[in-house]
Amino acid sequence: MDEDGSSVAVGKSGSEHSHSARLKKAGEIKAMGRAFATVKKRQKANIARVADLENRKQRLLQTRKESIGNAGLLKQAVESLERNGIRVRMTGTREEAVSLVLAELAGEKLVVKSKSNLTKELGLTEALTDKGVEVVETDIGDRIVQIIGEKPSHPTGPASHLSKQEIADRLSAHFGHRIKPMAEDIVGLVRDEIAAYISSASVGITGANAIAAEEGAVLLMHNEGNIIQVATRPGKHIILAGIDKIYPNIEEALNMLKLQVFYATGALSTSFINIIAGTSQTADIEKKLIKGVHGPKEICLILVDNHRSEIAGGDYRELLYCIGCGQCLLVCPAYSVYGNKFSVGSQLGGRGVVYAALNGEGADGGELDICLGCKRCQKNCPLAIDTPTMVSKLRLERHLKLRQPQLARAYDFVRAHIDWIDDALALEATWLLARLMGLGEGKGKDKG
């Protein structure tokens, strides 16, 4: 097995190896394209069922404008949460956030975790693993990419770029037996492994889709049902959320969730929306208050800044309006050719690359050059976030810093398009070759 778990014959030449890598990448991009096409088809079928879609988007935009960087709203949220018995810790940097989580774990060596883009931004899993804590992802897609050491390709569909054949091949090594390329079998196997970890863990870590300031509540949305199990480990529930996740109240937070799920999946709702506004508790025996009856004894919310305050106060403020639906990725022609190569760290696509340049994850400029400036992301974003203008602004800043002539900007624009055409043609040629060789789409079909 090579480092990514796929089978590579011993003694393969360099060119054969790179040819295999190209076939693999082409297969991943095609699998991602099929997954994205399914979401777009579902969006088209369901759009008429979302009442007042345009009004909802306007209402959300107004809420985001008023909430981002609003110190008064943040203060109100902290007071309400603490009144409900949720301990709140505020933290500035990535390192501080990791230290706080370690302190909250208080020596626990196993922790189960649900999907959270913030924890990816913080590199939390890697940091905890370095300290000897076993961190187990509990979302099926996230657990798959964790086991096989892959990078996610979509904020809510992390394994979208992997075909069932590829997943089955690569999980076989982890489980030590041959796994059939059938979605049901794969899900059952991964679920059973996750369930065993969940029942052994005392502490669970989740993100938060939203925090409602008025009620002091945390909203969590999911389809798999794993999040509520993670959130109800008996010892402690640790929640990590960016300070940009604060909404004035539950109603506005639900409006965002409705739009987020529609743009991320094409559905009108996820299977579950949990609202947590305190611990499970009873005073049924002689009025003595007992906490943690059916859930954790303690809930700790870590509110993370990590450059958000700076961004909220500057020219790139709009970036923080993002609700993480990933709609921009579905329509981006660059992402459809490059996949998650158009990213920096955990930040995917054009908006992600701009965000990474500002939040300390770093972008060396090469990723910015991938953007074609076509504006499709902006036109299709529910909040009309103007990513292309932000990309151009960052490119210009880089040119000025390097004292490059203005002509270089035009050169970059032309080069991005030539590279894109070149890579799109190469992708199609590789994919055609893979199909002629009997690899690709036909290979992964369920037979049962």
**Site of interaction with ligand SF4 (CB under 6 A):** 332-334, 349-350, 371-377, 387-388
Where in 340-425 does DSSP place strands (E)?
Answer: 343-344, 347-348
The helix/strand/coil state of 19 is helix
**Closer of 68 and 348 to ligand SF4 (Cβ):** 348
Q: How far is the CB of 391 from ligand SF4 (least distance, A)?
A: 6
CA 115 to chain centre: 7
CA 344 to chain centre: 13
Q: In this structure, what token pair is assigned to residue 38?
A: 């399914």
**Closer of 197 and 355 to ligand SF4 (Cβ):** 355
**Closer of 85 and 373 to ligand SF4 (Cβ):** 373
Q: How far is the CB of 353 from ligand SF4 (least distance, A)?
A: 8
- The angle, 0 to 180 degrees and rounded to 10, between the axes of the packed helices 14-46 and 407-436 is 100
**Closer of 88 and 332 to ligand SF4 (Cβ):** 332
Distance, CA of 390 to CA of 384 (rounded, Å): 13
Distance, CA of 96 to CA of 352 (rounded, Å): 23
Q: How far is the CB of 374 from ligand SF4 (least distance, A)?
A: 4
Q: How far is the CB of 379 from ligand SF4 (least distance, A)?
A: 9
Q: In this structure, what token pair is assigned to residue 243?
A: 């300070």
What's the one-letter identity of residue 345? Answer: G
**Closer of 201 and 391 to ligand SF4 (Cβ):** 391
- The angle, 0 to 180 degrees and rounded to 10, between the axes of the packed helices 183-200 and 140-148 is 90
Residue nearest ligand SF4 by beta-carbon distance: 350
Q: How far is the CB of 110 from ligand SF4 (least distance, A)?
A: 39
230 Cβ neighbours under 8 A, 6+ residues apart: 112, 113, 114, 138, 198, 204, 205, 206, 237
Q: What is the DSSP letter of 154?
A: S
**Closer of 184 and 397 to ligand SF4 (Cβ):** 397
Q: What is the bridge-based pairing of β-strands 236-242 and 281-282?
A: unpaired
Q: How far is the CB of 335 from ligand SF4 (least distance, A)?
A: 6
**Closer of 161 and 164 to ligand SF4 (Cβ):** 161
Q: How far is the CB of 415 from ligand SF4 (least distance, A)?
A: 14
Q: How far is the CB of 385 from ligand SF4 (least distance, A)?
A: 10
Q: How far is the CB of 319 from ligand SF4 (least distance, A)?
A: 13
The helix/strand/coil state of 75 is helix
Where is 87: in which H helix or E strand?
A: strand 87-91
Is residue 99 within 8 Å of 89, Cβ to Cβ? no
Core vs surface per residue 340-353: b (16+ CB within 10 A) or e: bebbbbbbbbbbbb
Is residue 133 within 8 Å of 127, Cβ to Cβ? no
Of residues 188, 166, 158, 189, the one with CA closest to residue 176: 189
Q: How far is the CB of 205 from ligand SF4 (least distance, A)?
A: 31
**Closer of 210 and 332 to ligand SF4 (Cβ):** 332
**Closer of 112 and 377 to ligand SF4 (Cβ):** 377
Start-to-end CA distance of the chain, whole Å, equals 27
Distance, CA of 227 to CA of 89 (rounded, Å): 21
**Closer of 246 and 372 to ligand SF4 (Cβ):** 372
